[in-house]
Amino acid sequence: MAKAVSFGILHLGTSFTVTYALTGSIAVAGAVTFIEPLANTVLHYFFDKYWDHPRAQAWRARLGRGAAWRLNRA
């Protein structure tokens, strides 16, 4: 758990620093720092719901065959 918390803090610090460096705005950097993880959390919820869907399983199978073909071809 400590590793996850420390990585979360590192992620927030990185997000703030990069956004501030790009925009020069503390307000924008602060907003992005907290909006981005919120958006990721919502997206992850739907990603997990779709992951076991039959269409997603078929897509992963096709993707795996395609990747294997490319790797074997090289």
Output the CA–CA distances (angstroms, integers) from residue 73 to 60, 61, 67, 69, in the order listed.
20, 18, 10, 6
* pLDDT, tens digit, 9 for 90 and up, residues 20-64: 999 999 999 999 999 998 999 899 999 888 888 888 888 888 887
Number of domains within the chain = 1
Higher pLDDT, 71 or 32: 32
Cβ within 8 Å of residue 15, ≥6 positions away: 29, 32, 33, 36, 37
pTM above 0.85, yes or no: no
Domain with 26 in it = 2-73
- Residue 15 CA to residue 28 CA, distance in Å, equals 11
Q: What pLDDT does 61 receive?
A: 84
- Residue 11 CA to residue 18 CA, distance in Å, equals 11
Per the structure block, which two tokens stand in for 2?
């400590």
